[in-house]
Chain A
Amino acid sequence: MKNFIRKAGFVASLGASLAFSVTLAQAEGEFSAGSNAKGFGFQEEEKATFSGKVVDILCEVAGNCVESCGNGTRLMGIVRAADNKLILPLKNAQLAFNGPVDDLVPYCNKDVDVDGVLVGDAEVYNAKFYMLQFIREAGAPEWNKAKLWTAAWKSRNPDVASGKGPWFKRDPRVVKQVEANGYFGLGHDADEKYRVENQ
């Protein structure tokens, strides 16, 4: 029961965080037609489905190329076929701080169709960034939801793969930093001071 309440609390907190932006209207963009992506109301969000080639960004911009796009060690992008723009995905379709690379690596240097949302104010940041929700090899009949991150994390972290709680509270690299420097990164005394003053 306690575990259920804790999980419900986490989902509610995440929902509350998402609610920061749900009142923002979603715009129609140049690549919105035909998209089946889910909208979240992120900043300057627009649905976007397009075709392109999956690339290793370091290879694409600097000519520093390795086998298999680095097998998950490098940032990856999609060169959009319609305008040759390099689109940078920051997120996959999962909602727990998961990046897109594990979903892109299987398509290294291949032509794909993708569906998702573009976010961010291009007038301020000079570009929009992508949340990849679905991907398939170009023209394939079935879409694949971009949710490979969790399985990949478990295979990278077999010792904690089956533990309790969300991955990000068990991840060895996260735990190491929090144990060393606390939740604000200032040390445990700063955490305790905040706790005393605010809880």
Chain B
Amino acid sequence: MFSKAKKLGLFLGIAAFSMAGHMPAQAATSAKSVEIKGEVIDTWCYFSGVMGGEDAVVGTAHHTCALWCAAGGIPVGVLTEDGDVYMVLKYEGEDILEQSDNIMEVQSDTITAKGMHYVRDGVNYLVVEKVVANDGIVNLNHEDYGAVPPFSFPKKKK
């Protein structure tokens, strides 16, 4: 039979071993509290160039595609004025891929967000704790690019 101390040691050992499966492999990540302002974007089209240049895959021109991508589970980013993109991990308490309308409602909006910023291997990650301002959609680039991609805007019914 195990003594109480041995049982406790065994329990703690098992608990520690169990937790290890959920712990990060390493901590080469920097973290700080930030307030950032930027446009909520679809990151796949932005980084891959699949739909054209950076200026065309943001704003009103790309709004419907941004909705499709966000609903599709493609990471949502916040693009700041100086060109940095922050990958949103959590949005006001919700995991980013929860089937909620909250992240859908801010697609293409320019928001000011407070939260925690993590950098790992060159990628910016953001836990949005609170959106302190929302300027709505301010980039009216459909006037220059139309709808990007074109099939994101339905043709007029004849």
Interface residues of A, Cβ cutoff 8 Å to B: 9-10, 13-14, 16-18, 20-21, 24, 40, 42-43, 45, 53, 55, 57-63, 65-67, 70, 72-75, 79, 84-88, 90-91, 96-102, 109, 119-120, 122, 125-127, 129, 131, 149, 156, 168, 171, 173-174, 176-178, 183-186, 190-191, 194-195, 198-199
Contact = CB atoms under 8 A, between A and B. Distances in A.
Given A75-B75, A75-B87, A183-B64, A62 B49 contact: no
A90 B25 contact: no
B51 A185 contact: no
A135 B56 CA distance: 32
Contact of A73 (B60, B72, B95, B156): B95
B31 A183 contact: no
B51 A74 contact: no
B66 to A, nearest CB: 9
B37 interface: no
B149 to A, nearest CB: 4
Contacts of B11: none
A65 B123 CA distance: 19
21 contacts: A17-B149, A20-B51, A55-B25, A57-B125, A59-B24, A61-B89, A61-B118, A61-B125, A62-B116, A62-B127, A75-B89, A85-B121, A96-B72, A102-B73, A119-B47, A168-B71, A174-B64, A183-B64, A186-B140, A190-B60, A195-B156
B92 to A, nearest CB: 14
B121 A127 contact: yes
B72 A88 contact: no
Interface residues of B, number: 66
A28 B142 CA distance: 36
A61 B22 contact: no
Given A43-B48, A61-B24, A97-B68, 6 more contacts: A58-B127, A60-B24, A79-B25, A79-B26, A120-B48, A183-B64
B44 A14 contact: no
A92 to B, nearest CB: 9
Contacts of A84: 25-26, 28
Contact of A185 (B50, B60, B116, B150): B60
A141 to B, nearest CB: 25
A42 B60 CA distance: 23
Nearest to A18: B50
Given A99-B74, A109-B22, A174 B125 contact: no
Interface in B20-72: 21-29, 31, 43-44, 47-52, 60-61, 63-65, 67-69, 71-72
Nearest to A70: B95
B112 interface: no
Contact of B64 (A63, A90, A178): A178
A17 B149 CA distance: 7
B95 A74 contact: yes
B99 A65 contact: no
B73 A63 contact: no
Contact of A125 (B60, B67, B85, B156): B85
